[in-house]
Structure 1
Amino acid sequence: MHVQAPVVDRFREDVLAGLARVPKRVPPKYFYDERGSRLFEAICELPEYPITRVETALMQRHSEEMAACLGKDVWLIEYGSGNSRKSRLLLEALRPAVYMPIDISVEMLERTARELALRYPWLRIEAVWADYAEAWELPPVAAGARRVAYFPGSSIGNFDPEEARRFLASAARLVGAGGGMLIGIDLKRGVDRLTRAYDDPQGVTAQFNLNLLVRINRELQGDFVLERFRHVAFYNEARGRVEMHLQSITHQQVAVAGRRFGFFAGEAMHTENSYKYSVEEFEELARTAGFSPRRRWLAGEDPFAVLYLEAA
């Protein structure tokens, strides 16, 4: 495994800075400790959350076409690989020279790499423990290879549009001229359906959101009382995004890493955005970042798209 570890000090720095902000905000990448990763897997199975189900169906129908676009003997680099469930369909169709999963959760990365090594003994796996949203370096073993980035699951929606443009520009530099990117994007649809996807009646997404406080308590000596916060999710139509927050039920003080922070009753800490696009909006964003859109695969039953982009 190639280690470019996201250290706890950065977690501490980002949480303390986020709690001192007005409004308070903590980056969503910190959801994904081991329990958070498992809760997200559970979210992906919910009937209210169609993204994984619809994208998987797209991959099942079109993986051979996608593999043909990506080409032979490529290095397949997956951002935020998680359990690599959808990747397996692509791996089987593509049979890349190398698969390079990148993930912030070392536990998930190690477990998935072991499972894939057993399932695909022919596959060379070069796992990278890193925060793909930050500066990281491609391991030297990738020098000279034709590279294709894979970013499924609409995770690009967690970035603000300008952050998304910078991320895509970074990916274009990573794969180099003639390299490619296969990316999933969640499309705009009805407000009620979007809200249910992020505020399910079973409360799994609420557990996922509140687990951020559990992690802060464990790793940063926090004293958050979970029962004093509630999960809030809604679609902000003006900004084209679903927002998730943790709202304080009461006036309270919390301690984190030796510092104290106040919450007034009703005050919310912003934990995630999930931007939704039209295909045309996203393709234009990709062009400004150095990619040329080449192919698109659309799901009709629930608005979702997988796009193939080529770096100029």
Structure 2
Amino acid sequence: MTGTRAYGYTDTLDAEHYARALRADIRGGLTSTPKSTAPTWFYDARGSELFEEITQLPEYPLWRAELGLLQLHAEDVAAQTGARSMIELGSGSSTKSKLVIEALGPAGLHYVPVDVSADALQQAGAQLVQDYPGIRLHALRADFTAPLVLPALPEEGPRLIAFLGSTLGNFRRPARGPFLRGLRDVMRPEDFLLLGADLVKPEHEMIAAYDDAQGVTAEFDKNLLHVLNHELDADFDPDAFDHVSVWNSTESLIEMRLRSRAEQLVKIRELDLAVQFERGEEWITERSAKFTVSGLREEMAEAGLRTRQLWSDPNAGFMLTLATAH
């Protein structure tokens, strides 16, 4: 971050974090069977623009459903928690969390947005301190999938950890337990977790949400190839791949995939790597788990989290869960 800031900022990631993580994931993912990489790399400037478009698509109700639930129940969250500190994981633009901030009362509220993007933290932080002059904001640039080390926060009063957007769905089942236990470990008995989760719906609806009629999601998926061409001096041809969306019923998740249209050899010069694709071979670029109410409650209980309140939108198939440590 540059310029004058009216708030605290801690950066736990070195300058090479992104490049090092990208190289490791792409090398490991494209030399495995099946090929599979993290969704992190979609989000250059163009990828972020495309995702904003996706959130407004009629086939993709997730973002709007969560926003609607927060509009209806942010006051309930505030009443039940009484939180005076709020930590948001994967905060991004902090658009939806503003509803919770306003319900909690921004004057004197300690707000810690956590994100890997310095630009997102800078832009959101500047806007928040302008909108809420009394807020006490400390931005934390960190990878929240690693053990969370928070900046100093007041000991008095409950804390609220917010993890919205059904981002938990980016973790496969074996990884979700350790992640949730990690959150539980930083929570005190009086603290709360607010979790957004996308629910299982009819298969055709879930597939359409990740393969819309306008082709925006397909462009978003293929944008990964442009990112790799730019960042790793690769020679992917986006026209040589088709975007597909598949429901994996065994793991209860949607998979976005890039399907090779022909046999091809792709060179990734920064990795000194040549990757062979067979015709019809599919590369998993994102996994997004979908939950059931009972299943998520069980996962949280196994991690030491007690569900205190559920709010759901049955039409859009989305829920918010408020939980405490036990």
- Tell me the distance in 2 between the aligned counterparts of 1:112 and 1:33: 17
Match of 1:86 among 90, 96, 100: 96
Match of 1:130 among 139, 142, 145: 142
- Tell me the distance in 2 between the aligned counterparts of 1:158 and 1:20: 21
* TM-fit CA distance, 1:13: 1.0
Letter in 2 for 1:94: L
TM-score by length of 1: 0.94
- Tell me the distance in 2 between the aligned counterparts of 1:87 and 1:151: 10
Q: Does 1:295 align with 2:306?
A: no
- Tell me the distance in 2 between the aligned counterparts of 1:135 and 1:155: 17
Letter in 1 for 2:231: E
1:225-264 map, 5 Å: 225-256=237-268, 257=270, 258-264=272-278
- Tell me the distance in 2 between the aligned counterparts of 1:152 and 1:178: 20
* TM-fit CA distance, 1:4: 1.9
* Contact kept? 2:147, 2:182, Cα under 8 Å: no
* TM-fit CA distance, 1:127: 1.2
Equivalent pairs, count: 310
* TM-fit CA distance, 1:136: 4.4
1:24 maps to 35
- Tell me the distance in 2 between the aligned counterparts of 1:49 and 1:274: 13
Q: Does 1:37 align with 2:37?
A: no
1:171-182 map, 5 Å: 171-182=183-194
* TM-fit CA distance, 1:142: 2.9
- Tell me the distance in 1 between the aligned counterparts of 2:229 and 2:315: 41
Change (3 A) 1:186 1:150: same
1:2 maps to 10
* Cα deviation code 1:157-213 (max 9, x no counterpart): 111112111111111112233321000111111111111101011111112211222
Q: Which moved more, 1:232-241 or 1:30-39?
A: 30-39
* Contact kept? 1:34, 1:105, Cα under 8 Å: no
* Cα deviation code 1:57-110 (max 9, x no counterpart): 11111110011122132x211111121111111111012521111112222222
Q: Does 1:62 align with 2:73?
A: yes
* TM-fit CA distance, 1:36: 2.1
* TM-fit CA distance, 1:143: 6.5
* TM-fit CA distance, 1:44: 0.8
Change (3 A) 1:158 1:101: same
Change (3 A) 1:131 1:148: same
Q: Does 1:113 align with 2:113?
A: no
Unaligned runs of 5+ in 2: 1-8
* Cα deviation code 1:270-297 (max 9, x no counterpart): 1111111111110110011111110111
- Tell me the distance in 1 between the aligned counterparts of 2:259 and 2:154: 47
Q: Does 1:162 align with 2:174?
A: yes
1:285 maps to 299
Q: Which moved more, 1:157-166 or 1:34-43?
A: 34-43
Q: Which moved more, 1:30-39 or 1:170-179?
A: 30-39
What SS is found at the alignment partner of 1:192?
Answer: helix
What SS is found at the alignment partner of 2:79?
Answer: helix
- Tell me the distance in 1 between the aligned counterparts of 2:248 and 2:74: 34
Q: Which moved more, 1:168-177 or 1:10-19?
A: 168-177
What SS is found at the alignment partner of 1:233?
Answer: strand
* TM-fit CA distance, 1:304: 1.0
What SS is found at the alignment partner of 2:316?
Answer: coil
* Contact kept? 1:76, 1:100, Cα under 8 Å: yes
Change (3 A) 1:27 1:289: same
- Tell me the distance in 2 between the aligned counterparts of 1:72 and 1:134: 24
What SS is found at the alignment partner of 1:297?
Answer: strand
- Tell me the distance in 2 between the aligned counterparts of 1:78 and 1:304: 19
